[in-house]
Amino acid sequence: MRSDPADNGGLFLGRRPGTAPTRFRNQLKRGGPSRRRVDGCLAGVAFAMTTSVGLLCWGPIPLTCLWIGSRVSYLTGSISLGIAMSFIALLVLLMGALQTMHDIDRLWVILRRAAGHDQRTGALDRIFTVTAVIGATIFAFWFLVIHGPGSTEFSGVQVMGKTFPR
């Protein structure tokens, strides 16, 4: 047998079993131009959905987890429990968002291929990178200009009508 490891010095250099290219008996029928156009539009919607979920990871999800932690802390009177619940909620929601992004990205690849494009990989890594840069830029602007060590005119603490700089 040609793929016997004894023939090539003990190394298996051929294709692994079960990994041969898929061959169809009949040629697949391509959709018409209107069907490919609809698939392309649906792929655009899937791409926008993936980007939207990615943007949720950099603002609304962490804020929601902080709110959940504050509610738990208020209801139980335990700050430690509130912090723990915030971290647990953050872990669950971020992992859920990443899984959702992964599933939508796989759908995007299928829709792009149905639209007639030779799409072999998804865009999840690029989408996540761009949303991370956007989220970091917005946070830096908020921290440096609006709230943080930027202007003392806007970031002062007001107690009983008097403003104290931070």
Helix (H) or strand (E) run with residue 163 in it:
strand 162-164
Measured from the Cβ of residue 122, the count of other Cβ atoms closer than 10 Å reads 19
Write down the pLDDT at residue 78.
92
Q: Is residue 134 part of a domain?
A: no
Q: Is residue 18 part of a domain?
A: no
Q: Per residue in 76-91, pLDDT tens?
A: 999 999 999 999 999 9
Q: Is residue 83 part of a domain?
A: yes
Asked whether the beta carbons of 58 and 135 are under 8 A apart, the reply is yes
Write down the pLDDT at residue 64.
95
Q: Per residue in 46-72, pLDDT tens?
A: 999 999 999 999 989 999 999 999 999
Domains contained in the chain, number: 1
Write down the pLDDT at residue 90.
95
Q: Is residue 154 part of a domain?
A: no
Q: Is residue 140 part of a domain?
A: no
Q: Per residue in 111-154, pLDDT tens?
A: 998 888 888 888 999 999 999 999 899 888 888 887 766 555 55
Q: Is residue 74 part of a domain?
A: yes
pLDDT band for position 102 (50/70/90)?
Answer: very high
Whole-number Cα distances in Å, 85 to 59, 70, 96, 146: 18, 9, 16, 29
Domain extent, residue 44, equals 32-120
Token pair for residue 105? 């990205």
Write down the pLDDT at residue 33.
81
For residue 93, is pLDDT > 80?
yes
In the beta sheet, which residues pair with residue 155? none
Write down the pLDDT at residue 21.
73
- Neighbouring residues of 102: CB distance < 8 A, sequence distance ≥ 6: 124
Q: Is residue 153 part of a domain?
A: no
Query: Of 116, 134, 127, which Cα lies nearest the Cα of 53?
Result: 127
- For the chain, give the percent of residues with pLDDT over 90: 48
